[in-house]
Amino acid sequence: MQRFWRFTSEAAQSSTFIIKRRINTLQKPPSAVSDLFSLFKASIPSHNNHLTVDEVAVLRNKLLLVASDSVSVTTILNDNVDSLLSSRSLFLALLNHFNSHPSLLLQVFNWRRKRKVSESDTCKNSMDAHEYSKGIKAAGRCKNIDLAIELFKEAENKGVKISSTYNALMGAFMFNGLADRCYSLFLDMKKDPTCTPNNVTYNIVLSVFGRVMLIDHMEATFKEMRELHLSPNISTYNYLIGGYISSWMWDDMEKVFQVLKSGPVEPNMKTYLLVIRGYAHCGNLEKMEEIYSLVRDHVNENEMSIIRVMICAYCKSSDADKVNKVEALLKLIPEKEYRPWLNLLMIKLYAQENRLEEMENAINDAFEHKTAITTSGIMKCIIAAYFRCNAIENLENFIRRSVFAEWRICHSLFHCKLVMYGSQKNFREMQNVLEEMGDIDMNCNKRTLWIMYKAYSSTGQRSMVLKILGKMFKHGYEIPDDAFPS
Q: Cβ of 472: how many Cβ atoms within 10 Å?
A: 19
CA–CA distance, 216 with 315 (Å, rounded to integer): 33
pLDDT at 484: 64
pLDDT at 167: 97
Q: What is the pLDDT of residues 263-301, one digit of tens each?
A: 889 999 999 999 999 999 999 999 999 999 999 999 999
Contacts of 293 (CB under 8 A, 6+ apart): none
State what percent of residues in the chain have pLDDT above 90.
66
pTM: 0.78
Average pLDDT over residues 31-45: 40
Confidence of residue 125 (pLDDT cuts 50, 70, 90): low
Average pLDDT over residues 395-417: 93
CA–CA distance, 134 with 111 (Å, rounded to integer): 13
CA–CA distance, 254 with 247 (Å, rounded to integer): 13
Answer yes or no: is pLDDT of 373 > 80: yes
Q: For 356, how many CA atoms within 13 A lie in the half-sphere containing its CB? A: 14
Average pLDDT over residues 5-30: 39
Average pLDDT over residues 62-85: 88
Average pLDDT over residues 195-221: 96
Q: Cβ of 89: how many Cβ atoms within 10 Å?
A: 8
276 against 22, higher pLDDT: 276
The per-residue b/e assignment along 302-324, b for 16 or more CB within 10 angstroms, e otherwise, is ebbebbbbbbebbbeeeeeebbe
Are 129 and 152 a contacting pair, CB within 8 Å? no
Answer yes or no: is pLDDT of 363 > 60: yes
Please give the backbone phi and psi of residue 391, each rounded to the nearest 5 degrees, phi first: -105, 75
Nearest to 94 by CA among 135, 140, 59, 145: 59
The per-residue b/e assignment along 159-188, b for 16 or more CB within 10 angstroms, e otherwise, is ebbbbbbbbbbbbbbbbbebbebbbebbee
Are 440 and 404 a contacting pair, CB within 8 Å? no
pLDDT at 243: 97
Amino acid at 326: V
Are 93 and 53 a contacting pair, CB within 8 Å? yes
Average pLDDT over residues 155-184: 95
482 against 464, higher pLDDT: 464
Q: How long a stretch of residues is the chain?
A: 486
Answer yes or no: is pLDDT of 310 > 70: yes
Q: Cβ of 95: how many Cβ atoms within 10 Å?
A: 23
CA–CA distance, 340 with 303 (Å, rounded to integer): 18
CA–CA distance, 468 with 452 (Å, rounded to integer): 7
Nearest to 108 by CA among 162, 153, 56, 67: 67
Answer yes or no: is pLDDT of 48 > 80: no
Q: What is the pLDDT of residues 246-262, one digit of tens each?
A: 999 999 999 999 999 98
Report DSSP state, residue 477.
Answer: P
pLDDT at 389: 94
Amino acid at 448: T
Average pLDDT over residues 221-241: 95
Answer yes or no: is pLDDT of 356 > 80: yes
Please give the backbone phi and psi of residue 124, each rounded to the nearest 5 degrees, phi first: -70, -40
Report DSSP state, residue 121.
Answer: G
Are 84 and 112 a contacting pair, CB within 8 Å? yes
In the predicted model, what is the mean pLDDT of the chain?
Answer: 86
> Considering only 91-100, 108-117, 130-139, 422-431, which range has the smallest mean pLDDT?
108-117
Average pLDDT over residues 297-316: 96
Q: What is the pLDDT of residues 376-403, one digit of tens each?
A: 999 999 999 999 999 999 999 999 999 9
Nearest to 201 by CA among 237, 225, 234: 225
